[in-house]
């Protein structure tokens, strides 16, 4: 009995620590960096590979908004504290491009992203924060419009289908969230003590990533 009670206490302690960590991260994003955030739906407790939302075929289990919806994303401290006070295990979801304040992102499969970042480092390319899940990595970029992105992609002879663009109206789970696909972490973390992380222009990132994937033998499967 003592062993069972000890396990329960340790489990509750870990949950409490994780909840504090998520709340602290959400407050940093919202109040210090002015990135609008909201809680994600979270994985299904009965099966972490599934999502707690009603869609049985959800492609991003636990890593998307549901209730509240994406439009509720905010930088208000009181709202953030209320959300994570009631849902301490909820993933922290960024509303990409929201209000022209939040960063957008360019994501690609994890293995291809790892190779691409190595090549860009060799070339001296300056990158901003990079968010990593077990399956995909996302490079944060400055907010862009759909018109700007369309013109950028139209000018390319080829754009790998594995690239995804998280612009206005999109979302991205941020560290240290736990989702149905696993934990979200920083592959390239913001500099400690940053008032607001620096992020590059989308043109520079897309140009560099497409070049790295198509001209240097790095493959990016259509995932």
**What confidence tens digit (pLDDT) does each residue in 63-120 have?**
999 999 999 999 999 999 999 999 999 999 999 999 888 999 999 999 999 999 999 9
Give, as one character, the DSSP assignment of residue 32: I
What are the backbone dihedrals phi and psi of residue 91, each rounded to the nearest 5 degrees, phi first? -60, 150
What radius of gyration, in Å, describes the C-alpha atoms of the chain? 18
At 47 the pLDDT is: 62
Is the pLDDT at 218 greater than 60, yes or no? no
Please give the pLDDT value at position 221. Answer: 47
The kind and range of the H/E element at 96 are strand 92-96
Q: How far, in Å, CA of 46 to CA of 221, rounded?
A: 31
Number of Cβ atoms within 10 Å of the Cβ of 155: 11
Instruction: Return the higher-pLDDT residue of 44 and 74.
Output: 74
Helix (H, G, I), strand (E, B) or coil at 217: coil
Higher pLDDT, 10 or 54: 54
What contacts 36, CB < 8 A, 6 or more positions away?
A: 30, 73, 74, 75, 94, 95, 98, 99, 101, 102
- Checking if the pLDDT of 42 tops 90, the result is no
92-96 and 104-109 strand pairing = unpaired
State the Cα–Cα distance between residues 51 and 37, nearest whole angstrom.
19
């Amino acid at each position: 009995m003592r062993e069972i009670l000890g396990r329960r206490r340790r489990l509750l302690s870990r949950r409490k620590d994780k909840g504090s960590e998520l709340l602290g991260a959400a407050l940093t994003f919202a109040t210090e960096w002015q990135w609008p955030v909201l809680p994600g739906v979270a994985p299904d407790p009965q099966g972490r590979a599934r999502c707690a939302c009603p869609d049985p075929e959800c492609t991003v289990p636990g890593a998307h908004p549901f209730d509240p919806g994406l439009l509720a994303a905010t930088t208000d401290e009181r709202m953030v504290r209320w959300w994570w006070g009631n849902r301490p295990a909820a993933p922290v979801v960024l509303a990409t491009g929201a209000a022209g304040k939040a960063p957008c992102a360019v994501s690609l499969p994890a293995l291809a992203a790892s190779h691409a970042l190595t090549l860009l480092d060799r070339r001296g390319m300056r990158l901003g924060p990079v968010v990593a899940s077990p399956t995909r990595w996302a490079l944060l970029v400055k907010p862009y419009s759909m018109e700007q992105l369309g013109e950028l992609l139209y000018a390319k002879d080829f754009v790998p289908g594995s690239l995804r663009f998280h612009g206005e109206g999109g979302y991205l789970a941020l560290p240290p969230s736990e989702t149905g696909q696993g934990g979200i972490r920083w592959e390239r973390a913001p500099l400690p003590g940053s008032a607001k992380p620096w992020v590059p222009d989308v043109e520079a990132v897309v140009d560099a990533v497409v070049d790295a994937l198509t001209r240097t033998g790095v493959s990016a499967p259509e995932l």
